[in-house]
């Protein structure tokens, strides 16, 4: 069975500061991992995905995430926060690469302080 | 725009009403999904359709009834809902074993 834990339901950073959103996963098979972003009153948009290729995955809007098997982690980072990054971020895990068996975390709301 | 369109965006309905949510995608995907997003809870997968056939129903109450007439359209028929059913309902689609593309959701309020 797969599961995801996102540490910190709320994260606040200053504009220009490093963004770090934490995600730990549990999976009995090699996982596929995803980060999605949700802006207010919108659906979910895929930021990036890990599918067993490179462990450092680059996504849209300057975000990246690193898969660390030893730590069962897939933390999301961005070197410099923009005001437009304020949103809710969801980590998700799947055992098949697709959406059929996709398990989401509870989300982290990112606030960017001017 | 992700290519997945949901209508309506907002819906208020009484507990005795019957309404339907609509989702369509023209991405050529063969799988479609309904998710429920409630505050402070993980997204809950409700229904999965692969090639128009329902392949998963995660113990969803019968007051929610999905319909998938073709691989581009998905409906969620609602009747005699409860206030706790108020949530954001998200539709998604994908090719087999690829990532999901989500619609913008329908914000449902049951009064």
Q: DSSP for B43-100, please give it.
A: -EEEEEEETTEEEEE-S--TTEEEEEEETTEEEEEEES--GGG-EEEEEEEE-TTS--
CA distance A61 to A50: 17
Give per-residue pLDDT as tens, A8-19.
Answer: 999 999 999 999
Closest CA to B103 of B57, B35, B50, B14: B35
Q: Give residue B51's pLDDT.
A: 78
B100 contacts in A (CB within 8 Å)? 44, 46, 98-99, 102
Q: Give residue A65's pLDDT.
A: 97
The first and second tokens of residue B87, run together, are 């949530």
Run of H or E residues at A48? strand A44-50
- Contact A44/A90 with Cβ under 8 angstroms? yes
Mean pLDDT over the full length of chain B: 91
Question: What is the CA angle B79-B81-B84, rounded to 5?
Answer: 160
Interface contact flag, A99 B94, Cβ < 8 Å: yes
pLDDT class of B36 with cuts at 50, 70, 90: very high
Residue A100: pLDDT over 80? no
Closest CA to B27 of B89, B75, B76, B93: B93
Q: How far is C-alpha A31 from the chain's CA centre?
A: 14
A49 contacts in B (CB within 8 Å)? 99
Interface contact flag, B99 A44, Cβ < 8 Å: no
Average pLDDT over residues A83-105: 87
Give per-residue pLDDT as tens, B42-92.
Answer: 888 899 998 777 777 778 999 999 999 998 999 999 999 999 999 999 999
CA distance B101 to A79: 26
Closest CA to A46 of B16, B20, B92, B57: B92
B9 contacts in A (CB within 8 Å)? 41
Residues whose CB falls within 8 Å of the CB of residue B8, separated by 6 or more in sequence, listed in order: B21, B106
Average pLDDT over residues B12-35: 94
B47 contacts in A (CB within 8 Å)? none
pLDDT class of B1 with cuts at 50, 70, 90: low
Residue B16: pLDDT over 80? yes
Closest CA to A25 of A5, A55, A50: A5
In this complex, the residue of A44, A96, A104 whose CB is nearest that of residue B42 is: A104
Shortest CA distance from B49: residue in chain A: A100
Would strands B53-57 and B106-110 be described as parallel, antiparallel, or unpaired? unpaired
Interface contact flag, A98 B96, Cβ < 8 Å: yes
């Amino acid at each position: 069975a797969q599961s995801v834990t996102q540490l910190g339901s709320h994260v606040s950073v200053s504009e220009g500061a490093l963004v770090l959103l934490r995600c730990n996963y549990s999976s009995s098979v090699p996982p596929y991992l995803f980060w999605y972003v949700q802006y207010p009153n919108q659906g979910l948009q895929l930021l990036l995905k890990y599918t067993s290729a490179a462990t450092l995955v680059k996504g849209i809007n300057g975000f990246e995430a690193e898969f660390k098997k030893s730590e069962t982690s897939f933390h999301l980072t961005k070197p410099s926060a923009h005001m437009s990054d304020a949103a809710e971020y969801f980590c998700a895990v799947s055992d098949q690469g697709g959406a059929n068996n996709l398990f989401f975390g509870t989300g982290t709301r990112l606030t960017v302080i001017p | 725009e992700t290519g997945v369109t949901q209508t309506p965006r907002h819906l208020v309905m009484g507990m005795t009403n019957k309404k339907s949510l609509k989702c369509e995608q023209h991405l050529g995907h063969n799988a479609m999904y309904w998710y429920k997003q409630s505050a402070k809870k993980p997204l809950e997968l409700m229904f999965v359709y692969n090639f128009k056939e329902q392949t998963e129903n995660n113990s969803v109450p019968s007051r929610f009834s999905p319909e998938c007439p073709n691989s581009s359209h998905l409906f969620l028929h609602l009747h005699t809902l409860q206030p706790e059913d108020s949530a954001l309902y998200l539709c998604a689609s994908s090719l087999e074993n690829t990532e999901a593309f989500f619609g913008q959701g329908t914000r449902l309020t049951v009064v």
